[in-house]
Structures are given as structure tokens and as C-alpha cells.
Structure 1
Amino acid sequence: MYSSERLKGIDVFVTVADLGSFTAAAERLNLTGSAVSKSIARLEARLGTRLFNRTTRRLALSEAGVTFYRTCTCVLADLEEVEHALLVTGDQPHGKVRIELPASYGRLHVLPLILDFISLHPLLQPHVSFSDRFVDPVYEGIDIVVRIGGPDTWPAALGHQYFGAQRLVFCAAPAYLAEHGVPQHERDLEHHHCVGYGHTDGQVSPWLFKGRQPGEMEQRTLQPRIAVGDGEGEVAAVLAGHGIGQLPTWLTQRHLDRGDLVEVLPGLATDGLPMNLVWLKSREALPKVRALLDYLLARLAPHGARPGPSA
């Protein structure tokens, strides 16, 4: 059960933080300055921390105040949005929704789906960001995340749906193979130029190979001719003839279909990292989140976006 005490003073706190003044907040809220000051004092006493740093010249949020402000503004925005949706648009997707996508897969396969969705639902206001870093949806307040890789067990606060694993293939440009020959065995890779995924710390992601036992995977790090810290950049290097790369089919399939790339050693193709759609359970009932989740779940696939029924 949520105590009603937790809601008291939130609107006053946010207004003071927005305006940077007790006096201005009192005028905005049609309250006395004393009432505003007492409201903030009661809130700080209940939380056991100072929310504002006060001087004779300025009023600024403390570190704890910044954290509390971020949560309060989200709560108030959600309440306002739901009220507006109930009054104006019923259960139609409406308002802002935060989405975090992996850089290359997101740009190539998820963003086009989101753009199609908002064409059908023009009241939706998605805020889409791209990153290959680990994100914590709970801490960062992100509604929906597409994640490549992830934990074996998920926190209770998150919903998630597995939609497949990356399919990794070895491929090269025809010009490279014409000059250097086509590898016939995995040991031949040691004598070829390789294109790898490079990290900012100077490390290179290992290639994955099938292990001796069913379902077992082995990781091997080969010395690359070139390491690129971006999936699309890796593909560009392979297309330019700089070597063989192990790449997911969602990046390479269109190039393979056109003949710009050639798969080599097809017997070494293997599944890679799992791919999941992740969301905040606390927000999944909001029409804007539920509708977009359903739309994406019907279309996301490890090889790229697939057609789905109209929303």
C-alpha cells in the first residue's frame, strides 16, 4: 500500500525547484510564502534529507533534491498524461515515451518501426536514444529498451520478452576472396586478414565458435587487421575488402542477398547474444507503452524487422 503522505508536498516541491524561489512558487500556487516554506520543511523532515541548498542569494537543489525532483516530475507528468488521455483520447497512445536502442540494430531495424507506429498514432511523442552501453531502465526512467545480451535473470521491476539470438556468420567481400582465397577450414582464418569489433579500452571482442559439446560455445580472440567500434563500421571495412568479419545477419543479410558480401565457412555459423525487448512493469499499463510494446513484439526479429499486422 502506498501512503498518502508520500504525495503531500510534491507539487509544491516541483514548483519551487522549477522557479528557484519560494516567493515565486507561492504566487504560482496561490499560497502564502509561509505555507510553501512549511510544506518544503515537512517534506524534508519526512524524507530525512535536505532537498534545497539555501543561501541569501539563491536557492538550488541538493544532490538528493535532484534525484527526488527527477522522480517527482515523472510522477506528475504521468498523472497529467493519464488524466488527459482519459478525458480526450480514451485508450489511444498519447504523450512522451522514452526508448533506448542499441546503436546499429536500433537505427536499421527498430527506428523504422517506431516511425511507422507514430504515423498511425500522431499523439505519441517518442524520445529515442541510441547506445551500446548498459542502461538501467529503473534508475534512468526508460520506458522501453531493446537489448542485445543481458542477464540470465531479470529484476522483478522489469518485464522482458526474448525475440531470438543473433545469427553470426563469417563473410568477406568478393574482391578480398579473389585476392586472398576462400578459407576451407576454421584454422585457415589464422592466415587471413580479420576485421574485429574494437572497444574504447583497446580490447577486441572475441569471435564465437561452436564447442565440442552441443550448445557449448568457445571464444577466441584473433589479431585483427582493423578493429572498429561500431557494427556498421565493421561492415564497411569488410565491404571495402579489408578482411573477413564475423557479423550478425541483421547487419549483413542485405549485402549477402545482393552479392556484395559472400558467406564463408557456413558450417561455423552460430547463434550469438540473446535479444530482448525490456520495459518497466510499473508503466506497461499506460496506453502509450502497451501499444508500442505490442507493435514491436509482433515485428522484432534477430535477423531484422519483419512485417506484422497493422496497428
Structure 2
Amino acid sequence: MDRLQAMQVFTRVVDTNSFTRAAETLDLPRASVTTIIQNLEAFLGTRLLHRTTRRLSLTPDGAAYYERCVRILADVEETEASFQSGNKKPSGKLRIDMPGSIGRLLVIPALCEFHTKYPDIDLQLGLSDRPVDLLQEGVDCVVRVGALQDSSLVARRIGLFEGVSCAAPTYVERAGIPQTLEDLEHHKAVNYFSSRTGRIMDWSFLVDGKEIEVKMKGLVSVNDADAYVTCGLEGFGLIQPPLFMVLPHLRSGQLVEVLPDLKPLPMPISVVYPHSRHLSSKVRVFVDWIAELFDRCPLLSGRASLDKTCSQRTFEQKESAPDLKTPVMSEWVA
């Protein structure tokens, strides 16, 4: 029995809470994963996992063995990386997930740069707006927007999601322009609800250093960014999307900013990965690369203002403002 492989398989089964998902992420047949765990338990002379038709759980011995396996595998990876770093580039499969809007507008256009620097990394890029469980789904790292709640993960802040309150000229002509937060009581908004919870997302403003949330009345609620912005363009109500999503519409006059002195609360953008991945050279180089990429983008690094971006280029990599299409919106939460 290959004990190192058995440790890798066992920890992956625990992390994903599934024999099937562990097999998929390790590119092994499910039957092989089952056999390896059975042989490992026989070799150790103890049961590591409680198995039922619906769930897996660790036995006390399994929990202790898991913690030791994580440390041993991390030590092995660190040792290998220390010898490989001087003469070998990072390689292997790297699974990443991020909001579709960020992926399409910023990351994908720059992927040739990453591939040129690291040609041996097989990058699997998932573009989704749903919350991703890194451990259960075998994802190496994700880009997340908003407050991070899972303390078991390592997070590095790489940018800032800045919002803008705006409306179509047709709505403004019909309903007027709100001048204060109190005026919003008399206005309608296009509401955005979470696909995960169904909860309507309140509007959020930063006033004197404090977050102020406002519940908006509306005639329509959507959970898709294209629909959200389209409803705003059609005059259904006020919208509060991320600035980088609607910049072309603001430049063209299809949308106009409202409450310019009351900015929406900015939200941090972070790249997040499990503690067990922090020594991986392929994760490390990707995190460093995407952090640098965000730093080169004023709209997502917190250095741009609406007045500036409406008159200058969107991304520093471009010589002129790109013809941006409205991308899919993240749910703005971790």
C-alpha cells in the first residue's frame, strides 16, 4: 500500500465529505478510493470513518489521524517545493472559481500572460455566482466579494468593489432625482435577490464612516445581473450595481448617477484558499499574479473615481475604453 497516496485520498475524502467527489478531484475511479480507504483502515487496525447512505463523519481516531495527515502532507509539499523552486516551474492542475463579471472583464483577457509565465499549470477556471465550498468541491482558491465568514480559510485582499447608484433618464424624468436618503422612500428600485437565500439585498451607503442600509420598494426583483441592469436601463427603477459593470452606460448617458455625494459601501475583493493549499507553488504564483492584475485596474483597486473613469480608460492595459457588455453579477457575499 502506498501510504502517502492513502493519506492524500483519506484527507480528500474528509475535505469533500464524499467518496465520489474525492475520486473526481483526484482523477481516480471511485472504486479505487473505496479500496484505498478500506486498506488504510485495515493497515491501521481502526475505523477512520462512519459511513451511512447520506453522510460521512470522522471517528475519534479518524479525526486525530486526519490532523496528522494534513501536517505530514504539508511538510512533504514544502520539502518538495524547496528543491523544485530553483529549477522547476509550478505545474499541475489548478482549480479556480470567481464571479463571472470579474472573470470575463479582467481575468480572461489577461490569461495569455499567465499561461506564458506558467505554461505547465493546467488552469480550470470556473465562472459562477454561487458560493463555492472549496474543500468539498476540491477547488484550490476562489475570488470572493464581500465580508468573509469562514475563518478556516486564508484570505488575501486584492481589490475593492465600488458601487454606484444610478437610473435611466426615463425614470428620472418620470420620478425625479432623489437628493437625500429620506427621498428614497418615495422612489422605486429594481431589487436584487440572492439565488442562495432568496433574500432581497438592501441598498448600502457609507455615511460619516458608518454603513447605512436602506430597504427599497420595487415592482420587480431579479437574481441575474443582465436582467438587473436591463431593468434599470428600461426605467423600472433605481439600481445600485458595481461601477465597473455599468461604466459604459454611464459614459453613454443611458444611465445617470444619483446621490453622487452618498456613495455605496465599498466591498473588499479577496482571493481565498484553504490552509492546506498555502504551501502550493501553483496556488502561490496564481495569487500573486491576480493580485498584481487587480492592482493594474483602477476600477477594481479602489483608485478610480466615477468622474475620472468616465473620461479616461477603464483598464490600464487598454489604450481606450473597452466596449464592455454587462457581465453576470456576483451576489457580493462570500
TM-score of the pair, normalised by structure 2: 0.64
| C-alpha distance after superposition, 1:110-148 (max 9, x if no partner) | 343445423553332112223333334344432121111
Residue of structure 2 in register with 1:118 after alignment? 115
Give the stretch that moved more between structures: 236-245 or 280-289: 280-289
Of 135, 140, 145 in structure 2, the residue corresponding to residue 143 of structure 1 is: 140
Residue of structure 1 in register with 2:290 after alignment? 296
Distance of aligned partners of 1:202 and 1:291 in 2 relative to their CA distance in 1, 3 Å threshold: closer
What is the 5 A alignment of 1:44-55? 45-49=45-49
Partner-residue secondary structure (3-state), 2:218 = coil
Looking at structure 2, the residues matched to 63 and 285 of structure 1 have their Cα atoms a distance apart, in angstroms, of 28
Q: CA RMSD in A?
A: 4.3
Partner-residue secondary structure (3-state), 2:162 = strand
Of 244, 255, 279 in structure 2, the residue corresponding to residue 250 of structure 1 is: 244
Structure 2: which amino acid aligns with 1:133?
R
Give the deviation of 1:295 after TM superposition: 1.0
Partners of 1:299 and 1:307 within 8 A in 2: no
1:160 aligns with 2:130: no
Looking at structure 1, the residues matched to 158 and 244 of structure 2 have their Cα atoms a distance apart, in angstroms, of 13
Partner-residue secondary structure (3-state), 1:118 = helix
Question: Percentage identity across aligned positions?
Answer: 30
Residue of structure 2 in register with 1:92 after alignment? 89
Residue of structure 1 in register with 2:323 after alignment? none
Partners of 1:113 and 1:296 within 8 A in 2: no
Residue of structure 1 in register with 2:321 after alignment? none
Partners of 1:171 and 1:264 within 8 A in 2: yes
Distance of aligned partners of 1:115 and 1:46 in 2 relative to their CA distance in 1, 3 Å threshold: farther
Looking at structure 2, the residues matched to 11 and 147 of structure 1 have their Cα atoms a distance apart, in angstroms, of 27
Give the deviation of 1:264 after TM superposition: 1.2
- Unaligned 5+ runs, structure 1: 26-35, 54-59
Distance of aligned partners of 1:41 and 1:263 in 2 relative to their CA distance in 1, 3 Å threshold: closer
Looking at structure 2, the residues matched to 37 and 262 of structure 1 have their Cα atoms a distance apart, in angstroms, of 60
Distance of aligned partners of 1:19 and 1:247 in 2 relative to their CA distance in 1, 3 Å threshold: closer
Partners of 1:193 and 1:225 within 8 A in 2: yes
Partners of 1:145 and 1:277 within 8 A in 2: yes
1:241 aligns with 2:252: no
Partners of 1:169 and 1:268 within 8 A in 2: no
Partner-residue secondary structure (3-state), 1:133 = coil
Give the deviation of 1:40 after TM superposition: 5.0
| C-alpha distance after superposition, 1:23-70 (max 9, x if no partner) | xx9xxxxxxxxxx9994552463444478x9xxxxxx9x9569x99xx
Structure 2: which amino acid aligns with 1:237?
C
Partner-residue secondary structure (3-state), 1:42 = helix
Looking at structure 2, the residues matched to 131 and 296 of structure 1 have their Cα atoms a distance apart, in angstroms, of 17
Looking at structure 2, the residues matched to 144 and 253 of structure 1 have their Cα atoms a distance apart, in angstroms, of 28
Residue of structure 1 in register with 2:312 after alignment? none
Residue of structure 2 in register with 1:176 after alignment? 171
Distance of aligned partners of 1:8 and 1:191 in 2 relative to their CA distance in 1, 3 Å threshold: closer
Give the deviation of 1:290 after TM superposition: 1.9
What is the 5 A alignment of 1:1-311? 7=4, 9=6, 18=29, 20=31, 39-40=39-40, 42-43=42-43, 45-49=45-49, 63=56, 90-114=87-111, 116-118=113-115, 120-151=117-148, 154-155=151-152, 158-200=153-195, 201-211=197-207, 214-300=208-294, 303-304=299-300, 307=316
| C-alpha distance after superposition, 1:55-90 (max 9, x if no partner) | xxxxx9x9569x99xx99xx7xx98xx79x959x94
Partners of 2:160 and 2:300 within 8 A in 1: no
Partners of 2:41 and 2:48 within 8 A in 1: no
Structure 2: which amino acid aligns with 1:159?
V
Structure 2: which amino acid aligns with 1:18?
P
Looking at structure 2, the residues matched to 241 and 250 of structure 1 have their Cα atoms a distance apart, in angstroms, of 20
- Unaligned 5+ runs, structure 2: 11-22, 302-314, 318-334
Give the stretch that moved more between structures: 279-288 or 256-265: 279-288
Looking at structure 1, the residues matched to 148 and 9 of structure 2 have their Cα atoms a distance apart, in angstroms, of 40
Distance of aligned partners of 1:221 and 1:118 in 2 relative to their CA distance in 1, 3 Å threshold: same
Give the deviation of 1:180 after TM superposition: 3.4
Partners of 1:12 and 1:40 within 8 A in 2: no
Partners of 1:170 and 1:265 within 8 A in 2: yes
The count of residues paired between Structure 1 and Structure 2 equals 268
